[in-house]
Amino acid sequence: MRADSNLGRILRNSGFAVTAEFVPPASLDREAIEKNVSVFKDVVDAVNVADNRQARASVASWAVSKVLLDNGIEPIMTLVTRDRNRIALQSDLMGASILGIGNIFCTTGDHQKFGDHPGALNVFDIDSVQLIGISRNLGDNGKLAGGSACEGASPFCIGAAANPFGDPVDLMVIRLAQKIEAGADFIQTQPVFNKQKFEAWMAAARNEGLTEKCFMLATVMLLRSAEAARSLKGRPGGCDIPDDIINRLQSLPEKEQAEEGLKICVEQIQALIEVRGVKGVHIIAHGSEASIPEIVSRAGLQDRRRRE
Amino acid sequence: MIIAERKPIPELLAMLADHDRILLAGCKGCVTVCNAGGTKEVAVLAAALRIARRRQGRPIEVDEITLDRQCEPEFIGWLEKPIREKKYTAVLSAACSVGPQYIAQHFDDLVALPALNTSFMGGTKEHGVWAEFCRGCGNCGIHNFGGLCPVTRCSKGLLHGPCAGSSGGRCEVRPDMECIWLLIYERMKRIGQTEKFKKIKPPKDWSTYWSGGVRKVSREDLTL
């Protein structure tokens, strides 16, 4: 089997893609995972499979990616540099490729302090920019980081994360430029709640010509309650959620907040896809993946996917 | 310097459970400067151990000595005489972990115990506060980062800028610490090195670090 990327084709051909995120559980039950991921089928173009998200030990990203493939859903296999050195990461890249996994997402990963094994030793042999470069060279040129050759070449469609909300903005744009220069094909941003700040960052990225060199996917995150929004905002390194969003949820009785969160998510998608340079949306609904078809449909993304 | 911290008294008492006569050996090097194992700290620790053991009804004899340095075998030799004369069953070393290891190798039949946790290579931030500055990677590249070390001072050792956990100038892993990447960026901008900052760095060669095996420096011009 040859690694394939329908996502890469969609982005190149129509210039608009919809992706979503799946966080594998700690599980030894394949059937349960298959049941959980079935909501994504024919709803989004590809699904990011997290790699031990928040440093919580869970089913391997490559294994869940294969389960997705077997179920007719295109995976984007995440690789974090926290847990594996360059040898293991390249081994996983080659393994993914022979399983038919053509999309990868390269990131550094959350620090293990925030996970369920805070006493673990971390690796950080390389960082995300270097992993992007290594993946590019391996897929395109069949070359390993150490200089030796890898049999066959099968380019990966490479994704990377970007943070539009850090300060200063010029530094955030440099980070984006580095990832693109290293070989990223597409970017999925940190969840966008503060549209103003996102637009400022996109404008700065456009000025540098970066949005022409890479497909920019704006990430939206479903908020289920005012409480969830507050806790996302409150933690260190948390999301930049404007008060008016929290107040909008807060003003409603608890049982109506989930529906309002869904409305907010749909409105955000509709606003973000109008921002110049945005080539798609990435939807995160941790724990509420069942709502994703509804979000995609209400935001009119199904029509958009079909039309283009 | 090497920054170290004294182990908690209960941990030390557990280590000393089988001993009634010990030598507590401090060091006049780094651990004196960081107030962990100098003459003063040795006196305080010796008193604390004696009092605690007396309370337990099992008094312990703790003699005190502070060597010029415990990281040189020559100075460890100074312990021979007191150890021979007083027949200690253990030496509790209040040096960085080089000290108790040298003592263990020098005295075949003696128990060597660490009184300190060797923490890191660092410097004084303010009175009573020390911070880590160097991981000893063996291949210093701080000139590429405005003179500041991200390998040590970024919680993830990143080489290309801050992660998304950098907020309000702080590191999410250690909110009491500044995000070193903001300092590096601002500094490189100030000294006209923004272009250098943007440059992509190849994966670091860690073979000079601990992952390359136990390290040794040998200088031909100094060896006899």
Give the mean model confidence (pLDDT) for residues B194-218.
96
pLDDT at A225 over 90: yes
The Cα B154–Cα A129 span in angstroms is 15
> Which residue out of A144, A171, A210, A239 would a mutagenesis test of the B interface target, given it has the greatest number of B Cβ atoms within 10 Å?
A171
What pLDDT, on a 0 to 100 scale, did the predictor assign at position A305?
A: 62
The Cα B143–Cα B149 span in angstroms is 9
A236/B203 touch (CB, cutoff 8 Å), yes or no: no
What pLDDT, on a 0 to 100 scale, did the predictor assign at position A303?
A: 74
Q: What is the mean pLDDT of chain A?
A: 95
A59 Cβ contact list (under 8 Å, min separation 6): A24, A25, A26, A27, A33
Burial profile A142-162: b = 16 or more Cβ within 10 angstroms, e = fewer: ebbbeeeebeeebbbbbbbbb
For residue A27, the distance in angstroms to the closest alpha carbon of chain B comes to: 28
What pLDDT, on a 0 to 100 scale, did the predictor assign at position A2?
A: 57
What pLDDT, on a 0 to 100 scale, did the predictor assign at position A4?
A: 81
What pLDDT, on a 0 to 100 scale, did the predictor assign at position A306?
A: 54
Residue B145: in which H helix or E strand, if any?
Answer: none
Q: Does B129 touch chain A (CB under 8 A)?
A: no
Three-class secondary structure assignment of A223-264: CCCHHHHHHHHHCCCCCCCCHHHHHHHHCCCHHHHHHHHHHH
pLDDT at A308 over 60: no
> For A129-146, what is each residue's pLDDT tens digit?
999 999 999 999 999 999
**In the structure, what pLDDT confidence band is assigned to residue A234 with cuts at 50, 70 and 90?**
confident
Give the mean model confidence (pLDDT) for residues A60-88.
98
For residue B52, the distance in angstroms to the closest alpha carbon of chain A comes to: 31
Q: Classify residue A300 as exposed, middle or buried by CB count within 10 Å of its CB (0-12, 13-18, 19+).
A: middle
The stretches of A15-124 forming alpha helices (DSSP H) are 30-37, 61-70, 86-99
pLDDT at A190 over 70: yes
> For A44-65, what is each residue's pLDDT tens digit?
999 999 999 999 999 999 999 9
Q: Are B135 and B187 in contact (CB under 8 A)?
A: no
**In the structure, what pLDDT confidence band is assigned to residue A175 with cuts at 50, 70 and 90?**
very high
Number of helical H runs and strand E runs in chain A:
12, 8
Q: Are A17 and A9 in contact (CB under 8 A)?
A: no
- Chain B residues close to A124, C-beta within 8 Å: 156-158
A220 Cβ contact list (under 8 Å, min separation 6): A191, A192, A265, A268, A269, A272, A281, A282, A283, A284
Give the mean model confidence (pLDDT) for residues A184-198.
97
Proportion of chain B in helix, strand, coil states, percent, rounded to 5:
35, 20, 40
The Cα B148–Cα B125 span in angstroms is 15
pLDDT at A307 over 70: no
A177/B198 touch (CB, cutoff 8 Å), yes or no: yes
CA A251 to chain centre: 31
Give ipTM to 2 decimals: 0.94
B155/A111 touch (CB, cutoff 8 Å), yes or no: yes
**N- to C-terminal Cα separation, chain B:** 27
For residue B139, the distance in angstroms to the closest alpha carbon of chain A comes to: 15
Q: Are A88 and A131 in contact (CB under 8 A)?
A: no
**N- to C-terminal Cα separation, chain A:** 28
